Structure 1
Amino acid sequence: MDKLRALQYLVKVADTLSFSRAARAFGVPASSISRRITDLEASLGIELLHRTTRTVRLTEAGALYLEQVRPGLAQLDDADELVGQHSSTPSGTLRISAMPGYGQRLLMPALQDFGERYPDIVLDVHLSDALVELGRDQIDIAIRGGRQPQDRVVARRLDPNRFVLAASPQYLERAGTPRTLDDLAGHRALMYRGPNAVIKWQGLGDDGWHEVPVTPAFISNDGASLIAMACRHQGIVLLSEWALVDYFRRGELQAITLDQPVSVGRGGEAGIYLLYLQTRYRIPKVRVAVEFLVERLSASSA
């Protein structure tokens, strides 16, 4: 039995919850995937997967086993790629995940220049707000907003990700410019929907952070749509400064300053972070991409 191949099949089935999707990923019949894993189970003397006609999932023993072997398989893949690219031009497929708004506005222009500099690297870019696990999801680099992550992930801060209230001059002339957190209750709020829920506005009062009671007039998971509504004088948005700065410059939107801070979180060191695994940084395609993007996207270089 080729145990390494069986382990690779097991990881893919566990991640996709499907023999057929795992088979497509490896370009082999689903029966081959099932047979290899069955042989692995026989050699271990345990059942790794619960199988039904409709679903497949890890058993408790399978989950524990996979937790132990997954890091080793990832390190083996990294070692193969590192040796394969030793003393060669950076090449291969580079998988990047980024937030849609940030990705469209800032990352993609940078990647166009990166692609011209490193034509042997194939860029595979996924724009999504969903959380990723770098090792498990086969992502080389992720760009996410929030507080600095812990764990084994290396986080390079690109931007403080300061949130700003904004509206069109015409809207403010018609509805009045809010000066306090309480004033926001009388305005139309254009609100962002995150992966799990609508993002509430948080204000810092004398008694600490608390949710600001606002009236939603429009909700979307697309920041560009919220900005478009604001530019059409439909209400106030609370978005990252990097998403609004061009509209401020052109006079289409106007920043609103209150007497107390307002944001989408309750304190802590927030920011836009470039994330990667230290073990993969040694791979040339990952290393050159990390350094290029940090230099290009850092707020200090803007």
Structure 2
Amino acid sequence: MRATAVEMHLTHSAVSQQIGVLEQQLGFALFERRGRRIVLNEAGHTFLCSVESALAQLDAGVQAAAATAIGTAQRLRLTVMPSFLQRWLLPRMQRWRERHPDIALELHSSQQLMDLQRDGFHAALRQGKGGWPGLSDERLIDSPLVVVASPGTARRLQGGSLATLADEPLLGAAEYWDRWFSEAGLKIRSNPVANFNDAGLMLQAAEQGLGIALGREFMVADALRDGLLVQLSEQRLAPEVDHASYFLVYPPALSNWAPLQALRCWLHDEVCDLQKNMTPAAPVIAPVDAAPPKKATRVKAAKPKP
């Protein structure tokens, strides 16, 4: 009650009075006292679930109105995962500026799932399976995991087999590596030398020759093109369902806001361009079921007939 009073800039008694008025209008109690605490009762929980979406829609409406106000209509606040920002979005920002010089992007990098309405963001780029409550989402890209390493490491492993990777310094989560080896037909229990809470840092470590990484195909595409990384194998690993896709997420009330429409179109165009220009990698190491090279046979010269 005190925290509510502070947030709403009211007195403690004013909040209590408003709750009393609401309960009187509804004809039933919403709260119950437990010692010195006041908590929602069963009817209160039911009522909250019913009105939550309406309250969120009101918040989104206020945000949409604020976004179109004079002086703020052309600034778009976007929260992004650090790895997505570093490995994919930043390298494309020049093309955004050339296409939309009048729309400023205010980028916020965080691993946390931000509350767009509460924290004042117009949109977010998130990883998952979609369906965030009270928000619209558009799938941008699905991306498998591929094995990458620095050019120096790739040269050293040239012509080897997938099994030899188990003896190399692996970067990333053991569960992913174990699945990757299993799907390649190998019963290997991996022991990575380092794990990371940020995929961008893991790929940077791979570029510096510190180990071999399993990275999202679309996140390593630029590094493969620029020669900073080399894909070692054609073997891919589908991501888990909860982390399968990347989405653009935004409040429904902003769907027709011009700066957000511009961002949506630009992101989809960039993804299409990326997918068109990604070329299959020539394998550096041989798959498990590859046939061994045939030994050269010496052809004996025929003896001349007498």
| TM-score normalised to structure 2 length | 0.64
Question: Which runs of structure 2 are paired with 1:71-110 in the superposition (5 Å)?
Answer: 71-80=53-62, 91=73, 94-108=76-90, 110=93
| Alpha-carbon separation, structure 1, partners of 2:187 and 2:119 | 34
Q: Which amino acid aligns with 1:100?
A: P
Among the aligned pairs, what percent are the same residue? 22
1:203 is aligned to 2:203 = no
How far off its partner does 1:140 sit?
Answer: 3.6
* Structure 1 segments of 4+ aligned residues over 6 angstroms from their partners: 49-53, 83-90, 135-138, 208-212
| Alpha-carbon separation, structure 1, partners of 2:246 and 2:60 | 26
| Alpha-carbon separation, structure 1, partners of 2:109 and 2:256 | 25
Matched-pair contact (CA < 8 Å) for 2:147–2:233: yes
How far off its partner does 1:67 sit?
Answer: 1.3
Match of 2:204 among 208, 221, 228: 228
For structure 1, the 5+ residue unaligned runs are 1-12, 193-197
For structure 2, the 5+ residue unaligned runs are 278-306
How far off its partner does 1:52 sit?
Answer: 8.1
Match of 2:103 among 118, 134, 153: 118
Which structure's CA Rg is the greater one? 2
1:4 corresponds in structure 2 to none
1:186 is aligned to 2:164 = no
1:262 is aligned to 2:237 = yes
The structure in which a higher percent of residues are strand is 1
Question: Which runs of structure 2 are paired with 1:204-219 in the superposition (5 Å)?
Answer: 213-219=189-195
1:19 corresponds in structure 2 to 3
* C-alpha distance 228-88 of structure 1, shift in aligned 2 (>3 A): closer
* C-alpha distance 289-31 of structure 1, shift in aligned 2 (>3 A): farther
* C-alpha distance 105-253 of structure 1, shift in aligned 2 (>3 A): closer
* C-alpha distance 31-269 of structure 1, shift in aligned 2 (>3 A): closer
| Alpha-carbon separation, structure 2, partners of 1:135 and 1:85 | 12
| Alpha-carbon separation, structure 2, partners of 1:49 and 1:237 | 54
Q: Which amino acid aligns with 1:19?
A: A
1:128 corresponds in structure 2 to 110
Matched-pair contact (CA < 8 Å) for 1:78–1:283: no
| Alpha-carbon separation, structure 1, partners of 2:153 and 2:232 | 12
* C-alpha distance 203-58 of structure 1, shift in aligned 2 (>3 A): farther
Match of 2:52 among 64, 67, 70: 70
Matched-pair contact (CA < 8 Å) for 1:19–1:34: no
How far off its partner does 1:176 sit?
Answer: 6.6
Matched-pair contact (CA < 8 Å) for 1:155–1:273: yes
Match of 1:245 among 216, 221, 228: 221
| Alpha-carbon separation, structure 2, partners of 1:171 and 1:64 | 59
